[in-house]
Amino acid sequence: MTRNMILSLVAIFIILALSIYLVLPTTTSFLGRPIVTKLGLDLVGGQQVVLQVDLPENAVPDRDLLVKASQIVENRVNGLGVAEAVVQLAGNRYINVELPAVKDVTESIDTLKQTGVLEFVDMSHLSDEEAFALIDQTIRTDLEETLGSETTSPITTTGVVTETVFHTIMTGAMLESVETTTNQLGEPVVSFRLTPEGTKIFAEHTRQHQGKILAIVLDKKVISTPRIREPIETGEGVIEGNFTLESANALTVQLRYGSLPVPLKVAETRTIGPTLGEDSLRKSLVAGAIGFTIVILFMILYYRLPGVVAISAILTYALITFAIFRTIPVTLTLPGIAGFLLSTGSALDANILIFERFKEELRSGRPLGLAVDIGWKRAWPSIRDSNIATILTSLILFWFGSTFGATIVKGFSLTLLIGVLVSLFSAIVVTRTFLNLVFLYFQPSNYAKWFGL
Q: Which of residues 283-322 bind other proteins (CB under 8 A)?
A: 283-284, 286-288, 290-292, 294-295, 298-299, 302
Candidates 182-190, 244-252, 321-329, 337-345: pick the segment binding other proteins (CB under 8 A): 337-345
Total length of the chain? 453
> Which of residues 60 and 294 has its CB atom nearest to other proteins in the complex?
294
Spell out the SS3 assignment of 141-171. Answer: ECCCCCECCECCHHHHHHCEEEEEEEEEEEE
Q: Which of residues 386-405 bind other proteins (CB under 8 A)?
A: 386-390, 392-394, 396-397, 399-400, 403-405
Please give the Cα distance from 46 to 290 (Å, whole number). Answer: 28
Q: How far is the CB of 234 from other proteins (least distance, A)?
A: 37
Residue of 27, 124, 151, 382 interacting with other proteins (CB under 8 A): 382
> Which of residues 120 and 355 has its CB atom nearest to other proteins in the complex?
355
At 401 the three-state DSSP class reads: helix
Please give the Cα distance from 138 to 161 (Å, whole number). Answer: 7
DSSP 103: S
- If one asks whether residue 42 binds other proteins (CB under 8 A), the answer comes out as yes
DSSP 11: H
Count how many Cα atoms sit within 13 Å of the Cα of residue 431 in the half-sphere of its side chain. Answer: 31
Residue type (1 letter), 423: S
Q: Is the peptide bond before 329 cis (omega within 30 degrees of 0)?
A: yes
What mask of x and - would describe binding to other proteins in positions 108 to 147, judged by CB under 8 A?
A: -xx--x----------------------------------
Q: How far is the CB of 392 from other proteins (least distance, A)?
A: 5
Q: Which of residues 344-363 bind other proteins (CB under 8 A)?
A: 344-346, 348-349, 352-353, 356, 360
Q: Which of residues 244-283 bind other proteins (CB under 8 A)?
A: 265-273, 275-276, 279-280, 283
- CA atoms 53, 54, 60, 64: torsion sign: negative
Please give the Cα distance from 63 to 418 (Å, whole number). Answer: 29
Please give the Cα distance from 357 to 354 (Å, whole number). Answer: 5
> Which of residues 366 and 378 has its CB atom nearest to other proteins in the complex?
378
Q: How far is the CB of 272 from other proteins (least distance, A)?
A: 6
- If one asks whether residue 55 binds other proteins (CB under 8 A), the answer comes out as no
Reference 103, options 83, 87, 120, 88; nearest CA is 83
- If one asks whether residue 195 binds other proteins (CB under 8 A), the answer comes out as no
Q: How far is the CB of 17 from other proteins (least distance, A)?
A: 28
Reference 430, options 358, 376, 368, 386; nearest CA is 376
Q: Which of residues 75-114 bind other proteins (CB under 8 A)?
A: 94, 105-106, 109-110, 113
Q: How many residues bind other proteins (CB under 8 A)?
A: 76
Residue of 97, 143, 222, 409 interacting with other proteins (CB under 8 A): 409
Candidates 2-10, 80-88, 185-193, 410-418: pick the segment binding other proteins (CB under 8 A): 410-418
Reference 44, options 284, 274, 333; nearest CA is 274
